Amino acid sequence: MKPDAPKITDDLDTWLDYWGHVHVTGIDLGLERVIPVAEALGVMQPQAKVFTVAGTNGKGSTTTTLASILNEQGYQVGLYQSPHIYRFNERVKLKGQEVDDQTLIHAFVEVDQARRQCELSLSFFEATTLAAFVIFKQKQCDVWVLEVGLGGRLDVVNVIDPDIAVITNIGLDHTDWLGDTIEKIAFEKAGIMRPDIPVIFAGLQDLPQAIQTQANQVNAKLYVAQQDYFYQAAGDGQSWNFASSGTTLKLPLSSLALENISTAVAAVLLSGLDISQAALSSGIKKAQLAGRFEQRVIANKTVIFDAGHNAHGVEFLLKQLRNFLEYNKQYTEVVAVFSMLADKDIKSVVERLKPTVLNWKIAPLNVPRAAPLFQLMDALQGETVDSFESIQEAFKLALEQTNNNQLILVCGSFHTLEAVWEYLE
């Protein structure tokens, strides 16, 4: 039985709960149901420059930096990202600010009316993504910066034709949905390409054949990191150098990973939009993303939150952590507040973190796909581990027990971060 639609006077949580129950599954890859609704909403051909970013890791940092630079230049930027960490509103930003509940609810009403006219059901992700497009159209954004949720070819974001496509990297993640090899996953990501547009591949691995093949088929111009554009940290801990044909720039570092900042700069420079070096610099400096090597001081203790949840994401985290410890020598030990989802590669994440983490404080997450305690313990054999009933309890003890030379790292999953944030609230 389909749920009754909420009213425009209902609150955001009521609407989000509704979208969670309209369709039989939360994820349903394919565009057959989405396209008629998108057409009815009039969002298929935005009067805007569109950047679409796919990839296994780094999408959030890349889209955040892109939007920040464009905002600094004075463009009206609509930024769409997922998932959120703390509040659903994080997914939809205008001029760098999260949209308010009322704006989202009005867009949800429109999406619901359009899907009913088309006599179609939408998954939570499809409905909420289309709502973002409705908002960007209504607000007459000059630029849409869109982060792909899952894969690329069959993701709802791909109903919009991009002017610039970015693939950050390819790793083994979501293999149940996207395939169990790098080439199969690359094929899905390559689906965001369109004829004759610039396409950036920012991965530091060899270029997957599927990406080259798709670029050849649609005559897209491929730009590969450290081959068609180059970046390198300057060694002073403050700046880095970017170079491409005819362009050399010295730019500031930010809290986000350099390979993602450089991807955003390359995309902006290829877009044909007017961008000053001042906007590039200030946009990079202001780019911040919750849960991506996010540094906070809580009860006089330094805490780093990072949502990396696969081997590639943890490599990113460790690179930034090594850099941080290099410039903050007072920290000699790392204590991890850690949990993961059962369907993730827990062993490979833990193996990478083991040489850096002195003590682990673990607990099962309070979500359906949570890894049970025995699965976490199994991966952490031989390590110093304290187990708890909840992540909140683990974090509370970490705060109470750490010394000034110890850094607290909250990691393993978006849900781990969310649990700590709820505790801090």
Q: Which of 5-19, 178-192, 270-284, 336-350 has the lowest mean pLDDT?
A: 178-192
**Is residue 333 pLDDT above 50, yes or no?**
yes
User: What's 413's domain CATH number?
Assistant: 3.90.190.20
230 and 354 inside one domain:
no
Residue 6 lies in a domain: no
Alpha-carbon gap, residue 219 to 232, rounded angstroms: 30
Nearest to 401 by CA among 367, 340, 345, 360: 360
Nearest to 321 by CA among 402, 248, 411: 411
The answer, as to whether pTM is greater than 0.85, is: no
62 and 135 inside one domain:
yes
Alpha helices in 271-390 (DSSP H): 277-286, 311-327, 346-353, 373-379
Residue 397 lies in a domain: yes
**Is residue 175 pLDDT above 70, yes or no?**
no
Mean pLDDT calculated for residue range 1-18: 86
- pLDDT at residue number 1: 45
275 and 389 inside one domain:
no
Q: Is the peptide bond before 83 cis (omega within 30 degrees of 0)?
A: yes
275 and 311 inside one domain:
no
Which of the four pLDDT bands, split at 50, 70 and 90, describes residue 180? low
- pLDDT at residue number 270: 96
Nearest to 392 by CA among 358, 360, 361: 361
- Those residues with Cβ within 8 angstroms of residue 327's Cβ, 6 or more apart along the chain or in another chain: 237
Which of 286, 317, 352 is where one domain is finished? 286
318 and 263 inside one domain:
no
Direct distance between the N- and C-terminal alpha carbons of the chain, in angstroms, rounded to an integer:
36
234 and 262 inside one domain:
yes
Domain range enclosing 172: 12-286
237 and 340 inside one domain:
no
Which of 286, 319, 342 is where one domain is finished? 286
17 and 71 inside one domain:
yes
CA 366 to chain centroid: 22
Residue 4 lies in a domain: no
**Is residue 217 pLDDT above 50, yes or no?**
yes
Residue 3 lies in a domain: no
Mean pLDDT calculated for residue range 207-219: 94
Single-letter code of the amino acid located at 151: G
Rg of the chain over all Cα atoms, to the nearest angstrom: 21
- pLDDT at residue number 312: 80
Structure-model confidence comparison of residues 316 and 358, the more confident one = 358
Which of 231, 260, 286 is where one domain is finished? 286
User: What's 253's domain CATH number?
Assistant: 3.40.1190.10
Highest mean pLDDT of the ranges 25-34, 180-189, 292-301: 292-301
Highest mean pLDDT of the ranges 15-24, 285-294, 395-404: 395-404
Residue 333 lies in a domain: yes
216 and 362 inside one domain:
no
281 and 311 inside one domain:
no
Residue 176 in tokens: 């149940």
Give pLDDT tens digits for 39-61: 999 999 999 999 999 998 889 99
Nearest to 202 by CA among 265, 158, 275: 265
Give the SS3 label for residue 143.
strand
Residue 88 lies in a domain: yes
Structure-model confidence comparison of residues 324 and 243, the more confident one = 243
Q: How many folded domains does the chain comprise?
A: 2
Nearest to 306 by CA among 257, 363, 373: 257
Which of the four pLDDT bands, split at 50, 70 and 90, describes residue 244? very high
**Left (φ > 0), alpha (ψ -120 to 50) or beta: where does 132 sit?**
alpha
Residue 7 lies in a domain: no
Tell me the sheet residues that pair with 166: 53, 200
Mean predicted lDDT score pLDDT of the chain? 92
Residue 132 in tokens: 């973002």
Residue 111 lies in a domain: yes
281 and 300 inside one domain:
no
**Is residue 75 pLDDT above 60, yes or no?**
yes
240 and 210 inside one domain:
yes
Single-letter code of the amino acid located at 22: V
Share of the chain above pLDDT 70, in %: 96
